């Protein structure tokens, strides 16, 4: 028993020493080298660094503010230009509506005046025939003669006015104006949709609107186009461009889509348009002008002769010639009026005038583009060629083949093929 107590006492004492050693033992720390402590800067160096840091921080902020201001100013200017183009677009849309409405009104003038004048002429001829065949006397004869003469005189006056204003030609003018204003409307819409319009776009659009107003005026009194000019002249509805007297050759190497071959092609196309298309429409326009002038003079002259001859009806001493003159003149007047206004010869003349203007516009567009010495300022060459081909109703290969034929022609001769396949 005593031995057991002694052994337990020894075990307890040994374990308690191990626990005490474990609790008191501390792990070894790693060996520490020399620690570098940053040097305290002097006052002058501290101020210098703070100053440099302040400057480096402030300068970028100032530059950012300037750039933001410039961008805001540019956005404001762009918005003003877009607003101006939208204002021009609204004016163009209003012009389209006005020309369309007035065109319908003048088309009604043509049909109503033609029918009214022919009815008056034929009615006067019928009264004259009754007076000549029934041989009325006294008041009846006087009434027939007076009615016939009055109706022929009224037909003469109405014909003079109708032939002066040429309603069918007025209608064609309004049709052309409507089409060209719609073309300008699409042009402005394209500029706005592409973005970044410039002040030059605004000025060019304004010039085109005013040029169209001069080419196709709405009122009749004072500003109406001359319906019987001394010489046939193409219509001009675009602002004139400055073109030098001679086209100096330039070396092009694929700049902005232009090459020397493309420039030569445009020059040959220009010569074909001048020799064939423009000359042909000028010839046809002069023919239409002469025919229209002859018919415009013949109609009132015939009705005036009929009115004068109707005053001699019923007199036995005059014989049968007054009635023959009245009836023949009235019949011919109705035919001439129907041919002139029913056939719309004035509209045909205006169509030739507008077609000649179309080719003049093409010529001026080619000349002004090719004469620009700086190829970067030109319209893109490939795009310009495609536009010319579409306007002439040709493919690109057909356009190039036409220019090749023109360049290979014998000196002093010309190809018979016209540049346009549309007119």
The band of 243, judged by pLDDT with boundaries at 50, 70 and 90, is low
pLDDT per residue over 269-313, tens digit each? Answer: 999 999 999 999 999 999 999 999 999 999 999 999 999 998 888
Q: Which residue has the tokens 């042009």?
A: 187
Using DSSP's 3-state secondary structure scheme, residue 253 falls into strand
pLDDT at 245: 52
Give the percent of the chain with pLDDT over 90.
56
Residue 23: inside a domain, yes or no? no
Mean pLDDT of 212-226: 90
Residues of the domain holding 384: 51-230+245-407
DSSP 242: P
Domain membership flag for residue 114: yes
Task: Examine residue 235 and state whether it is found in any structural domain, yes or no.
Answer: no
The angle formed by the CA atoms of residues 331, 332 and 335, to the nearest 5 degrees, is 90
Instruction: Please tell me which residue, 101 or 50, carries the higher pLDDT value.
Output: 101
Average pLDDT across the chain, whole number: 81
Q: Which residue has the higher pLDDT, 275 or 11?
A: 275
HSE toward the beta carbon, residue 410, CA cutoff 13 A: 2
Total structural domains in the chain?
Answer: 1
Place of tokens 């003349």: 349
Query: Do 196 and 157 form a contact (C-beta atoms < 8 A)?
Result: no
Query: Residue 38: inside a domain, yes or no?
Result: no
| Rg of the chain (C-alpha set) | 46
Helices (H), 273-344: 279-310, 321-337
The model's pTM: 0.76
Would 4 be classed as within a structural domain? Answer: no
- For residue 326, being part of any structural domain is answered with yes
pLDDT for 372: 83
Please report, for residues 173, 277, 363, 366, the alpha-carbon distance to residue 243 in angstroms, rounded to integers and kept in the order given. Answer: 28, 21, 11, 10
Any domain includes 36: no
Tell whether 101 is covered by a domain.
yes
């Amino acid at each position: 028993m005593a031995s057991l107590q002694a052994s337990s006492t020894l075990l307890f004492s040994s374990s308690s020493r191990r626990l005490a050693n474990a609790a008191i033992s501390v792990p070894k720390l790693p060996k520490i080298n020399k620690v570098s402590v940053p040097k305290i800067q002097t006052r002058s160096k501290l101020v210098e660094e703070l100053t440099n840091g302040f400057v480096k921080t402030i300068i970028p902020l100032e530059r950012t503010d300037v750039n933001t201001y410039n961008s805001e100013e540019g956005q404001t200017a762009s918005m003003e230009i877009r607003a101006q183009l939208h204002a021009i677009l609204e004016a163009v849309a209003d012009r389209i509506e006005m020309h369309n409405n007035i065109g319908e009104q003048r088309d009604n003038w043509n049909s109503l005046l033609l029918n009214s004048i022919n009815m008056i002429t034929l009615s006067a001829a019928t009264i004259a025939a009754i007076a000549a065949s029934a041989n009325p006397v006294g008041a009846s004869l006087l009434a027939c003669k007076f009615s016939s003469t009055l109706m022929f005189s009224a037909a003469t006056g109405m014909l003079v006015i109708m032939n002066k204003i040429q309603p069918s030609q007025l209608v064609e003018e309004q049709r052309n104006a409507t089409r060209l204003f719609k073309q300008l409307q699409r042009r402005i819409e394209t500029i706005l949709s592409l973005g970044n319009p410039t002040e030059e776009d605004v000025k060019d659009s304004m010039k085109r609107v005013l040029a169209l107003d001069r080419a196709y005026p709405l009122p009749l009194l004072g500003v109406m186009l001359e319906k019987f000019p001394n010489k046939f002249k193409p219509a001009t509805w675009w602002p004139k461009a400055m073109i030098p007297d001679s086209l100096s050759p330039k070396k092009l190497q694929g700049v902005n889509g232009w090459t020397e071959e493309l420039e030569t092609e445009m020059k040959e196309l220009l010569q074909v348009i001048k020799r064939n298309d423009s000359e042909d429409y000028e010839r046809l326009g002069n023919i239409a002008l002469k025919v229209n002038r002859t018919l415009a003079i013949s109609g009132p002259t015939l009705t005036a002769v009929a009115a004068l001859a109707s005053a001699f009806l019923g007199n036995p001493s005059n014989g049968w010639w007054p009635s023959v003159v009245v009836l023949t003149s009235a019949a011919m007047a109705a035919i001439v009026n129907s041919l002139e206004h029913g056939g719309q010869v004035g509209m045909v003349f205006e169509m030739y005038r507008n077609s000649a203007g179309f080719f003049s516009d093409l010529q001026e567009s080619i000349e002004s583009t090719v004469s620009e010495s700086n190829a970067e300022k030109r319209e893109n060459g490939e795009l310009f060629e495609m536009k010319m081909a579409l306007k002439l109703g040709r493919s690109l290969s057909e356009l190039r083949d036409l220019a090749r034929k023109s360049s290979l022609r014998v000196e002093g001769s010309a190809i018979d093929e016209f540049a346009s396949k549309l007119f």
